[in-house]
């Protein structure tokens, strides 16, 4: 699979994650407010973050698209990740993102997601993009609402968490028809 595109937004640079992002990523991936909200254990060391980045970069070997680093243009700092995972070519994927708490409340997840969603529908010809969140993750729910995703319901006991617990997930999605309708009506941006 080819290299991910570089996407430039008003405030962000979205580019393929690199080994050199390890220090910036560890800064937020070690926090208890990040990993558990996404279903993964907080990183215990910088070397663990380096291993995770290697896994992210190797996803392409398994038919996945890869992971974007979210870079704050103002200081060139990597402040999060975003991806379309569980990718099925010309069909669907699931949107996933993390943002450093130092940058919360600035609309970064929404800004980055809009561009990744556009890339998914316009360049990858997807029919559906999903997003899931644990019921108590109000911030992710709010991102999905701001993106205009449709709430599809609560999926009970669907997620096996890193700690062995079984969790419920709230499901959201947007279809290509909904996306193109918003583009046509000029309501996407």
For 136, how many CA atoms within 13 A lie in the half-sphere containing its CB? 6
- pLDDT for 112-147, tens place per residue? 999 999 999 999 999 999 999 999 999 999 999 999
Mean pLDDT of 7-34: 96
Residue 21 has which token pair? 């992002």
**Structural domains of the chain, with CATH:** 7-184 (3.40.630.30)
**What does the mean pLDDT of the chain come to?**
94
What was the pLDDT predicted at 79? 98
pLDDT digits (tens, 9 = 90+) for 40-64: 899 999 999 999 999 999 998 988 9
3-state secondary structure of 172: strand
Rounded to whole angstroms, how far apart are CA atoms 103 and 141? Answer: 17
Q: How many residues does the chain have?
A: 189
Q: What is the pLDDT of residue 49?
A: 96
pLDDT band at residue 1 using 50, 70 and 90 as cut-offs: low
* Residue 161 confidence (pLDDT): 84
| Section 153-171 average pLDDT | 92
> Is residue 70 within 8 Å of residue 87, measured between CB atoms?
no
């Amino acid at each position: 699979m080819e290299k991910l595109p570089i996407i430039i937004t008003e405030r962000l640079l979205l580019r393929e994650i690199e080994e050199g992002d390890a220090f910036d990523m560890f800064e937020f991936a070690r926090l208890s407010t990040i990993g558990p909200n996404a279903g993964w254990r907080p990183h215990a060391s910088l070397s663990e973050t380096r291993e995770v980045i290697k896994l992210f970069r190797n996803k392409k070997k398994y038919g996945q698209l890869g992971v974007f680093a979210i870079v704050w243009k103002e200081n060139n700092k990597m402040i999060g990740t975003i991806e379309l995972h569980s990718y099925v070519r010309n069909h669907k994927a699931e949107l996933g993102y993390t943002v450093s708490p130092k940058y919360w409340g600035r609309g970064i997840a929404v800004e980055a997601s809009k561009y990744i969603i556009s890339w998914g529908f316009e360049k990858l010809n997807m029919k559906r993009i999903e997003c899931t969140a644990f019921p108590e993750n109000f911030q992710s729910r709010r991102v999905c609402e701001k993106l205009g995703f449709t709430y599809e319901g609560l999926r009970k006991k669907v997620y096996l968490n890193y700690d062995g617990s079984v969790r419920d997930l709230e499901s959201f999605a947007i279809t290509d028809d909904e996306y193109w309708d918003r583009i046509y009506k000029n309501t996407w941006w």
